[in-house]
Amino acid sequence: MCEMNWKGNMVMKLRTMRRHVSESLKSLTRNGWMTFASVSAVTVSLILVALFLMVMFNLNKIAGDIEKDVEVRVYLDRSTTPAQQNQLEEQLKQVKNVQSVTFQSKKKGLNNLLSSLGSDKGTFEDLQKENPLPNVFILKTRQPQQTIMVANEVRHYPNVQDVRYGKGTVEKMFKFINIARNIGIVLILGLIFTSVFLIANTIKLTIVARRREIEIMKLVGATNAFVRWPYFIEGLIMGILGSVLPVLLVIVVYHFAYYSLSSNLSQMFISLIPFQTMAVNLSLLLVGVGGIIGVWGSLSSVRKFLKV
């Protein structure tokens, strides 16, 4: 008996959902111009969001790559003995927020320097006879922003000749990255809320024309949820339809930008987010945001007409 009731309830729910979908599709075609206006509002807004996100995601990746390269270089006194060097290494490993400590001998440091000079290294080959470089400990912090604090602490340790971390440049870089990220978040949220406002007002015009229908449904006993469902589905469909053009635009524009700029940027040790990763992730994000905007705008418009 319970199983039959459960099956009966499921059949009723499926029929009700089918009715909601059918009503939503009829409404979308019946109010063609309003549907077009709502979808266009989503499309324009998401195009702006998509273009801005492409730039922000890549700026964030570049900033992250730069942050990963930030390190503290601790230069040892030339008079430091192996025992003192080992003792200093243990001290550095105990410093709070230090993730790793790597020793670089002066010989390896010179080889790295000569390799970076390329064809000009022959001019400096005499340096191999009398290496002027000191031994170095390279410290990586758990968070890039902890670099300054760690550098200021270890510079007073015994047998430390100098500590370098890009003083001045690092502070400016962290400040710029934080400002850029905050501005990006504010602008994206602003664009999304503007989209919701436009869509809500566009959909409201459609709902105003159907307010009598909503009032009648409420008077005959329809629940708020029953009335909302068709508008929920309408908003979802309009949001997804509005994301189609921005998704296609993302794929075309980013494909062109990625394969045009990657080779030039790689010479400056800058890499963009791979095309496939950006295309898939941003497309899914735009479809999701479009659907949410459509649903939110639709439900916020119908709310006031449910108070009968």
Which class for 253: exposed (0-12), middle (13-18), buried (19 or more C-beta within 10 A)?
A: middle
Residue that the structure tokens 């001998």 belong to: 105
Instruction: Say what the pLDDT of residue 127 is.
Output: 54
Q: Is residue 71 within a helix (H) or strand (E), and if so which, with residue range?
A: none
Residue that the structure tokens 């290496």 belong to: 131
Q: Which residues are 98's β-sheet partners?
A: 141
How many residues are present in the chain? 308
Cα distance between the two ends of the chain? 39
* Domain spanning 71-164, CATH class: alpha beta
Per-residue tens of pLDDT for the chain, all 308 residues: 555 555 556 656 677 667 667 766 676 676 667 777 777 877 887 888 888 888 888 888 877 777 777 888 888 888 888 899 899 889 988 888 888 888 888 778 767 666 765 555 555 555 556 667 788 998 888 888 888 888 888 888 988 888 888 777 777 777 887 787 788 788 878 877 776 677 667 666 666 666 777 777 777 777 777 777 777 888 888 888 888 888 898 889 888 988 888 777 766 667 888 888 888 888 898 888 888 877 877 777 777 666 65
Q: Where are any strands of DSSP class E within 49-97? A: 72-76
Q: CB of 127 within 8 A of CB of 57?
A: no
Category of 97 on φ-ψ map: left (φ > 0), alpha (ψ -120 to 50) or beta: left
Q: CB of 227 within 8 A of CB of 217?
A: yes
Indicate the domain borders of the chain: 21-66+172-306, 71-164
Instruction: Say what the pLDDT of residue 109 is.
Output: 72
